[in-house]
Amino acid sequence: MANSAGPLLLCVAALTLAACGKQPAPQQAATTAATLPAEIGALEGAVDILVWPRHFARVPDDPRFTWITQFETDTGCKVTITAVPTADEIVPLMAQGGHDLAIAPGDASLRLIRSGLVQPINTLLVPNYNAIDIRLRRALWHYIDGVHYGVPFQWAPNWLMYDTRVFDTPPTSWSAVLEPQVWPDGKDNRGRVQAYGGAMQIADAALYLLYHQRDLGILNPYQLDDKQYTAALDLLRRQQPLVQGYWLDADGQVEAFRDAALAASVSWPYQVDRLAAVKRPVAGVIPQEGATGWVDTTMLSARARHPNCAYRWMEWSVNTRVQGDVAAAFGTVPVVTAACEGNEQLGPEGCKRHGAEDFERIWFWRTPENSCETALGRCVPYDRWVADYAVLVGPGQASSNATR
C-alpha cells in the first residue's frame, strides 16, 4: 500500500528535495546563508505566538502549562498566545501582522511560505534541531529548495474514533464513516457519524479511493487531477446522509460525543484522551487504508517584531522536557523522540498511545498546489478545495456540534 513514508523517507535518505520532486520556489527572493541571522541578539522582552489548534493555550494554575511560564522566567520574554480554531485563519492573521510566530499545520505552512509571510530560519540558532526526528527535519511542508522555513513542533494522526460498545472489534476500514452500512450493533450508521469541517477532509476521501479504486490512479491524496478530485467530492456527498454534524473544534467534538448518539468520526488522540477521562467508551484506530495526520511547524513571521525572543522560543519548543509535557497535555506525539522516555506527565506508553508507532502509515497534511509531481503537474489547488468543501458542508455546518 502506498503511504506517506515512501515519498518522505526518500527525502531523508537522499537528503535533498530532488528525491521528492522539485517544488516551485516561494514568491519571496531566494535566501542564502549570508542573509540569515548569525546570532541571537538582545531579547526584546516579548513574543507573540499565533497557534492552532484551539486547545493549545495558556491555562492558569495547570501544571501541564508550566513550560510557558518557565520560558518567561528564564528569558524575560513575555508570551502572548493567540489561538484560532482553524488553520485557514492563520494565513490572513499573519498577513495582518503583529505576530512573531505561527504554529501551523502542513495545510497552512506552504501557503505561508508561498505568500512570503514567513522567513527562512537559521537552524544553527536552534541547537536542539538535530534532536528532531530525522523524518521531519526536512519535510516537504516546511523545507523548500534547501531552505528551512520552520521548526517542527508536534504531530498527531487523524484517527477513526469509535464507540467500543458499538464496535466489539476495531473497525478495519474508513467505510465505517464514509459508506452506508450496518454496524456491529445491528443498526445502520445514518446520523451516527461526524465528519471534519475543514477542506482536508477531501484528502481523507482521496486516501480511501487510493486504496479501493485503483483505476483512478491516485498516487497522493493531496495531489489530485480533476477526475480524482471529483471522485473524492462525490464520495463525500454520498457520505452526507450519514453525517450528524461537522466538527472543527476538538473540545466541541468532545462535548458532542458526550451528549449525542454519535458512534464514529475522524478525530485526534486529544479527543480520545478527553472522552476516556469522562468514561465515554471510545478508542482510536488507523484502518487498513492508512490515515491522514498533521505536523505543526513553528514559523517566524517575515515582519516579526521580536525575532530574538522568537528564536529563543523555537529552541525552547524542542527542549526534551517541553516536548513531553506538550504531548501529554494535547494528545500529540513529540517531534523529539527522546521526549517519549522518562516524562512523568506523558508516561511510558504516552507516545505509543497517541500513535507514534503509526508514523509510516500516515499521509501528513500538505497544502494542495496546482504545480505537483503527479497528474502531469496539474493538480487541483487548495483554493478550490476550500470553496467546494464549503458548498458541500453548507453554511453554518462546519462547527463542533452542527446537526442536520
DSSP assignment of 179-235, as one string?
A: S--B-TTSSB-TT-EEEE-STTHHHHHHHHHHHH-GGG--S-TTS--HHHHHHHHHH
> pLDDT value at position 60?
73
Tens digit of each residue's pLDDT (9 = 90 or more) over 361-378: 999 999 999 998 876 778
What size, in residues, is the chain? 404
What CATH superfamily classification does 41-155+293-358 receive?
Periplasmic binding protein-like II (3.40.190.10)
Q: Whole-prediction pTM value?
A: 0.90
Q: What percent of the chain has pLDDT over 70?
A: 89
> pLDDT value at position 396?
56
pLDDT surpasses 80 at 3: no
For residues 361 and 357, give the distance between their C-alpha atoms in angstroms, rounded to a whole number: 9
Q: What percent of the chain has pLDDT over 90?
A: 81
At CA 73, angle to CA 70 and CA 79, rounded to 5? 75
**Is the CATH code 3.40.190 the one for domain 159-267+369-393?**
yes
- 3-class DSSP state of 58: coil
Range with the poorest average pLDDT among 6-20, 201-215, 253-267, 390-404: 6-20
For residues 159 and 149, give the distance between their C-alpha atoms in angstroms, rounded to a whole number: 28
> pLDDT value at position 278?
94
Given the C-alpha cell 498577513, which residue does it identify?
95
Tens digit of each residue's pLDDT (9 = 90 or more) over 178-187: 999 999 999 9
pLDDT surpasses 80 at 395: no
Q: Mean pLDDT across the stretch 351-361?
A: 97
Domains of the chain, by residue range, sit at: 41-155+293-358, 159-267+369-393
Same fold, 41-155+293-358 and 159-267+369-393: yes
> pLDDT value at position 10?
32
Range with the poorest average pLDDT among 63-77, 182-196, 261-275, 351-365: 63-77
